[in-house]
Amino acid sequence: MGVMSGSGGAVNGAHTVRSWNVRTSSDNKQYRASNTKKGTGRKAGTKDWSGSYLGYGVVPPVMPNEAFTFTGFDGAKVASGSAVVESVEIRWSQEDGGLMEYTVNFSGAGPLSKTTGTASDVVIPNPPSSVSLKLELDSVELADVRSMTLTLTGNTKAYSSSTSGGWKGRLGGSLDASGGVEFYHADIESVPDAGTDTVLKMYVDDTTFWEIKWGQIDEDGVDVSIEDDELVSGTILWSKNGFQDGVEGYIKKPDLTTLWPAA
């Protein structure tokens, strides 16, 4: 098979990609019977495949429940097939000054092919930094944020039938969102309480942001390390609440387009 470097890799429709992967599985069925001589036989079953790619950026090129054609290049060969996005995660790392990055997770909607082909990423790189990016809760900045995440998840459904060609198919469903925040603080009363709703503005630069109306706080926490003199820190975990007292919320991208509610 030989050995090669991944430095020539790329993914169609995306730029500044760090890595990609795909995995194929077969739901093989075993059998034992009166004529298998106390042994086990197997027959190949329905095939399925899934994968992910990791890139620098603040808005992934595809969103949960979206059908797209994944094509991953390793420099000389191509893995390609119809797929549906399962989830995306966007990560901020203010404390260590890291670059903003995302992960796209997807699963197959039909066969995965492997052929010969090459591609290159011609976009001039300019990955965004997490330094000093803020979070607002109900339009009030939460001070001293260390890191935060935004996860968007699709309720996709897999199927196989007499016409799916021996591969799993998939369709997108409803959309959900969740996330987490780590921060330092000097006032335990400043930590938002579990069970409350808040409008989150997760900034990707000085003026634009992901906006979620509303995030319902699932868990709030405070950590105090006396022996090690560590700084007092807090955490928040939240999930999307799309409706509050008869009012409809939303998820908006940094360019102000609405991701949810669906059109």
Tell me the per-residue pLDDT of 198-254, one tens digit each, with 9 for 90 and over: 999 999 999 999 999 999 999 999 999 998 899 989 999 999 999 999 999 999 999
Share of the chain above pLDDT 70, in %: 98
pLDDT digits (tens, 9 = 90+) for 107-151: 999 999 999 887 778 999 999 999 999 999 999 999 999 999 999
Query: Which residue type, as a one-letter code, is found at position 149?
Result: T
pLDDT band at 1 (very low <50, low <70, confident <90, very high): low
**Residue 186 predicted with pLDDT over 70:** yes
Spatial distance between the Cα atoms of 178 and 198, rounded to a whole number of angstroms: 13
Integer Cα distance of 59 and 187 in angstroms: 33
189 phi and psi angles, rounded to 5 deg:
-75, -10
Q: What is the mean pLDDT of residues 93-111?
A: 97
Its pTM stands at: 0.94
For residue 45, what are its two tokens?
Answer: 């079953």
If pLDDT is split at 50, 70 and 90, which confidence band does 89 have? very high
As a whole-number percent, the residues of the chain with pLDDT over 90 amount to 86
The residues, any chain, with a CB within 8 Å of residue 3's CB and separated by 6 or more, are: none
Q: What is the pLDDT of residue 4?
A: 64
- Of 43, 38, 1, which is closest to residue 26 (Cα–Cα)? 43
